Structure 1
Amino acid sequence: MQEVSDNDFMATHRVSLATLEIESSLVEINCDSAWMGPGLTVIKAKEDAAYTIWDGGYFVMTEL
């Protein structure tokens, strides 16, 4: 797990946190290096929501 600033996120992912409707200037990112497929990266958006990246698209996941 790592915390990334909005500027660093933009430099790496070419999209801003605001575009993903993340209101914080820092975001928590988890990567599972043992898995090589969809869901490898999880970007925490809120307490009950996160994004994952797959084939260049950002997919929101929410807790039900």
Structure 2
Amino acid sequence: MTQGKRKHPCDLKNPSKRAPPATCNKPNGAILCGDFCLHEGYNIGKCVMRRTGKACICSQCEGW
């Protein structure tokens, strides 16, 4: 039986659990997103465009 390869922490990009949906639409949304992600234990948070609009996405690594 083969097991799946474990993902590197930099490959994990998760939507913020605490950030309200409209966070990234605010003028200071990028800063707020980063703060929410830091409180969730991630190193960085970015606002990215999704099909449903902008979303706050958290990751452990910069440069993604």
Larger-gyration structure (1/2): 2
> Higher strand share goes to which structure?
1
Q: Normalising by structure 1, what TM-score?
A: 0.25
Q: Which has the higher contact order (CA 8 A, sep 6+)?
A: 2
Q: Normalising by structure 2, what TM-score?
A: 0.25
> Higher helix share goes to which structure?
2
